[in-house]
Amino acid sequence: MQPLMTFAGNPLDRVAIERRNPVWLERQLADPEARFLPLWKLDPLVKLGEQRTLAWARRKLFDDVEPAPQPLLLGVDAGVAHFSVDVSALHEPIATLGLDGVARFEELRGVVPHLTPAEVSIVAHARSLSDWHERHRHCPGCGGDTIAVLGGAQRRCPDCSADHFPRTEPVAIAVVGRGDRCLLGRGPSWPENMYSALAGFVEPGETLEEAVRREVREESGVVIGAVRYLRSQPWPFPSSLMLGCVADAETEELEIDHTELADARWFSLEEIRLALAGEPAPLFIPPPFAIAHHLIQAWAEGRERGRRGP
Ligand SMILES: [Zn+2]
């Protein structure tokens, strides 16, 4: 088994059937054991102290909060409902909730190394869902006010009866190989010498493979042949699904689109090996936190197997 991707492996049961029942939902909300994760501007509440953990709260924490925040049901674990609660409307959330010295809201990227993989995956879900609700308070069909239904698994427009479903944006991300060389690029605002797999949103009417070919061609000028899907990763910034591929280049000449990329280069297998090992190299690559690291590693391992022969 491959190691779990960061943000994947959410242990909560999303209870698609049970959440259709309003009586069941009310019972979960009223359950004194139910757990509520506050989010402020998409940052999760984290307990202070040596061992940082998510600061799950009881519902009574929000009793006096105005305007009353709406809990979103993330799922159930061991019979206990887990909700997220967006308190972004509060100007001083820690003081208002009485949590000075107890907990604070932390930016997700910074807190990932301190939380368990399960906690990280739950925050990813909460964050993407919360962001979607915030952006869909009005119906894209008629402009009416929408309401959350099914514990937050959908929004409904009472004016035109349209149902709206949380969106995930598919992103094609690919390591491009040609023999023992691999094509990586760097964004304009990235740290110096950091290179990664090329990526872009899948556009309407495209397959994943077509998106990889188009993105790589647009950004680097390289023509792609075969594209192989490897694995995916939820990317909650705010709501993408990274679809990781390895692609075979049919050409080598670079024609870089400098509005998208500061640079793109072919790197040797040796250079990639050094970068993967964290040793001095002409480039460094994203950490294992990101799917790009695993795609680059998969390409390098594939080449090494190829060199050793069948
Ligand atoms: Zn509507």
Query: What's the CA-to-centroid distance between 30 and ligand 1, angstroms?
Result: 31
Query: What's the CA-to-centroid distance between 58 and ligand 1, angstroms?
Result: 34
Q: What is the pTM of this model?
A: 0.94
Query: What's the CA-to-centroid distance between 164 and ligand 1, angstroms?
Result: 9
For the chain, 310 residues long, give each residue's pLDDT as a single digit of tens.
677 899 999 999 999 999 999 999 999 999 999 999 999 999 999 999 888 999 999 999 998 888 899 999 999 999 999 999 999 999 999 999 999 999 999 999 999 999 999 999 999 999 999 999 999 999 999 999 999 999 999 999 999 999 999 999 999 999 999 999 999 999 999 999 999 999 999 999 999 999 999 999 999 999 999 999 999 999 999 999 999 999 999 999 999 999 999 999 999 999 999 999 999 999 999 999 999 999 999 999 999 888 776 5
Query: What's the CA-to-centroid distance between 139 and ligand 1, angstroms?
Result: 5
Give me the DSSP letters along the chain.
-PPPPTT----SB--TTGGG-HHHHHHHHH-TT-EEEEEETTEEEEE-SSS--B--B-GGGGTT-SSPPPEEEEEEETTEEEEEEE-TT-SSHHHHTT-TTTEEE--HHHHGGGS-HHHHHHHHHHHHHHHHHHHTSB-TTT-PBPEEEGGGTEEE-TTT--EE----EEEEEEEEEETTEEEEEE-TTSPTTB-B-EEEEPPTT--HHHHHHHHHHHHH---EEEEEEEEEEEETTTTEEEEEEEEEES-------TTT-SEEEEEEHHHHHHHHTT-S-S-B---TTSHHHHHHHHHHHHHHHHHH--
Query: What's the CA-to-centroid distance between 167 and ligand 1, angstroms?
Result: 17
Query: What's the CA-to-centroid distance between 146 and ligand 1, angstroms?
Result: 7
Query: What's the CA-to-centroid distance between 156 and ligand 1, angstroms?
Result: 8
- Predicted confidence (pLDDT) per residue in 295-307, tens digit: 999 999 999 888 7
